[in-house]
Structure 1
Amino acid sequence: MNFEDYLSAMKSLQDAGKSFVSVTLVKQQGSSPQDVGARALVSADGLEYGTVGGGKVEKRAIEEAQKMIREKIHHHYADWNLQKDIGMTCGGVVSFFFEFFEYNHPFNIWVFGAGHIAQELVRLLMRLDCKITCVDPRQEWIDKLPTSSRLTTICTEDMKGLVSRIPEKSFVTLMTMGHGTDLPILVEVMKQRDRFAYVGNIGSDQKARRLRQDLIDAGIAQESLDKFHCPMGESFGTNAPVEIAFSIVAQILKTRDLVL
């Protein structure tokens, strides 16, 4: 492999606004479809450049790399037995080093929740030049979302634990299953309110009052509460999910034009 071509391919992916994983074969024992030093670049769309052997080995490496992109895992080392782990007839062990290169779009939007309103919101946001991350513990709702290189989906019970991964100046929206699941995430987000361009929570006026009191009880400063949107969205339209989604997008765009 020509290393200059490899670096050029990395730059092309970065210029295209794609996150990707560099996969390198670092060790082999016995049979192996490629030599040590073989490299490949993998994005959410699949293999972008190079090869680490083709066939079952490469398929497994691509799947591993795409999992890292979805879960935002930055480094990973894997030893695979070709017979036991890959299902090949030839014997041998291969070792790979995976390194994730994340593209941080200047307009990042995180959507906690993948229910009815989130489904409409994500589809509207995908028409904008932005990077979307949607988080929900329910795989069946995650599976209903459209597929796009602009959309990252994460299925996890520990939604609060992802807050530290959200890039600076992101727009954070919460619309999970209810107050009980919104609040732990919201408290964690509001503790770091100055990191984010926008924080909004779906809900009625009554829910907004309760959330604000809960945030005060959690020690969140009034200055931060003044920069929290609940009910989220502009004051127009009906309660139809798609119209609520339009109102949220309108509010996000108004804020974006002021802060980015």
Structure 2
Amino acid sequence: MLDLALQLGDWLAEGREAAVATVVSVGGSAPRGPGATLAVDGKGAVIGSVSGGCVEASVYDLCAQALETGGSVLERFGYSDEDAFAVGLTCGGVLDVLVTPLTADGPVGALLRSALDTAARGGAVALVRVVRGPDALLGSALLVHADGSHEGGLGGHPELDRTAVEQALAALDAGRTATVEVSQDGSHCPGGLTLLVETRVPPPRMIVFGAVDFAAALVRAGKFLGYQVTVCDARPVFTTPERFPEADEVVVDWPHRYLRGTPTDGRTVVCVLTHDAKFDVPLLEVALRLPVAFVGAMGSRRTHADRDRRLREIGLDDHELARLRSPIGLDLGGRTPEETALSIVAEIVASRRGGTGLPLTGSVRPIHHRHTA
């Protein structure tokens, strides 16, 4: 639901009723993951998506029914061998979709407004809902803030609320949306209740070191993928907002000093484009010892070999050096800054999602597969 928080907030502010369909679990190959949302208002307007289009019409009908009945429903959509035109996922996957009516004066509506207020202040928030279990609990919601405070509740069960808060804080820390199985008293027990934990967190950071021509293209690619992008270089003549107008931040500082002092987390991506030892070595010494998601450095294989030697000389071990992606990027054969940026973000996505970087043609791996980075 939180992926449509801004639009839904506008609907609620206007007093419009809506029904919200949310993907709560996925099996096999499916185009969207848990948390993907489609919403329909009382006049039939629709926003969002729960699939690549193969089940949208049926989900739309379920939302219309929910607006009439006022009740929540959990529906499963899967592939139909018997009828190629039947409602289903022709890619062979299975989606479980929870449809819930949403009104401006209802409890979920109040929680969503609170989530919007938090997001507008740049804060992190998680929405926990019962998506499988007794009808009395289905759709009940709990809103959890980054400091552990919470609003709402899951059917008046304190132990269940405590477990939900713990799961929400873990999901916020990782910036992910996931489902978890618990029993009604809150203990972990597969086969009991299923909770969907949706998060809304500030975008992950991409920090690009080196105010070079490739950096401008990488900034654009990073913004396209939803990163908050910083460009940093020690040379003020090159490091200007005019050269990088799409960057969220342009910083003139020694790279290693800036990285040591700036906030990073397990979603942060570090791209080193300077390929100059006096910048690279002290910077990578810091980067490879931080718990960030990705560290890559540009340069030829000869540059990489020299860089590896220098990093070993200052004390980095095999485990730390194994985290370095160098030369950065996938082998796409590109040469222009835009093609190079594409190869870099392709490797970042593959690393984040567990992809191989190989063509899908001839591959036997699932196209959509689960991965924990």
Please tell me whether the aligned partners of residues 329 and 345 of structure 2 are also in contact (alpha carbons under 8 angstroms). Answer: yes
Aligned to 1:174: 272
- Where do 5+ consecutive residues of structure 2 fail to align? 1-113, 124-199, 355-371
Provide the C-alpha distance between the structure 1 equivalents of 2:121 and 2:273, rounded to a whole number of angstroms: 27
Deviation digits for residues 193-241 of structure 1 (CA, Å, limit 9, x no counterpart): xx11111000000011111111111111101111211100001123222
CA shift, 1:161, in A, is: 1.2
Aligned to 1:133: 230
Deviation digits for residues 25-52 of structure 1 (CA, Å, limit 9, x no counterpart): xxxxxxxxxxxxxxxxxxxxxxxxxxxx
Greater CA drift, 118-127 or 161-170: 161-170
1:113 matched to 2:218? The reply is no
CA shift, 1:128, in A, is: 1.6
1:209 matched to 2:268? The reply is no
- Within-5 A mapping of 1:1-260: 14-16=118-120, 18=122, 105=202, 107-141=204-238, 142-143=240-241, 144-147=243-246, 151-156=248-253, 158-164=254-260, 165-169=262-266, 170-176=268-274, 178-192=276-290, 195-258=291-354, 259-260=372-373
Q: Kindly tell me: are residues 215 and 13 of structure 1, through their superposed partners in 2, closer, same or farther at Cα, counting changes over 3 Å?
A: farther
Q: Kindly tell me: are residues 130 and 13 of structure 1, through their superposed partners in 2, closer, same or farther at Cα, counting changes over 3 Å?
A: farther
Q: Kindly tell me: are residues 247 and 221 of structure 1, through their superposed partners in 2, closer, same or farther at Cα, counting changes over 3 Å?
A: same
CA shift, 1:11, in A, is: 7.3
Deviation digits for residues 130-170 of structure 1 (CA, Å, limit 9, x no counterpart): 2112111233433310246xx222112x2211223241111
Aligned to 1:35: none
Aligned pair count reads 164
Higher relative contact order (CA 8 A, sep 6+): 1
Q: Kindly tell me: are residues 239 and 147 of structure 1, through their superposed partners in 2, closer, same or farther at Cα, counting changes over 3 Å?
A: closer
Deviation digits for residues 90-118 of structure 1 (CA, Å, limit 9, x no counterpart): xxxxxxxxxxxxx9735221111121111
CA shift, 1:122, in A, is: 0.3
Q: Kindly tell me: are residues 121 and 13 of structure 1, through their superposed partners in 2, closer, same or farther at Cα, counting changes over 3 Å?
A: farther
Aligned to 1:80: none
Please tell me whether the aligned partners of residues 288 and 323 of structure 2 are also in contact (alpha carbons under 8 angstroms). Answer: no
Provide the C-alpha distance between the structure 2 equivalents of 1:17 and 1:183, rounded to a whole number of angstroms: 37
Provide the C-alpha distance between the structure 1 equivalents of 2:272 and 2:122, rounded to a whole number of angstroms: 25
SS at match of 2:281: helix
Provide the C-alpha distance between the structure 1 equivalents of 2:328 and 2:117, rounded to a whole number of angstroms: 35
Query: What TM-score do the two structures reach when normalised by structure 2?
Result: 0.40
Greater CA drift, 208-217 or 159-168: 159-168
Provide the C-alpha distance between the structure 1 equivalents of 2:117 and 2:214, rounded to a whole number of angstroms: 32
Query: What TM-score do the two structures reach when normalised by structure 1?
Result: 0.56
- One-letter identity of the residue aligned with 2:284: L
Query: Once superposed, what is the RMSD of the aligned Cα atoms?
Result: 2.6
SS at match of 1:237: coil
The higher radius of gyration belongs to: 2
CA shift, 1:176, in A, is: 2.1
- One-letter identity of the residue aligned with 1:187: E
Q: Kindly tell me: are residues 13 and 117 of structure 1, through their superposed partners in 2, closer, same or farther at Cα, counting changes over 3 Å?
A: farther
Please tell me whether the aligned partners of residues 105 and 130 of structure 1 are also in contact (alpha carbons under 8 angstroms). Answer: no
Task: Give the helix-richer structure, 1 or 2.
Answer: 1
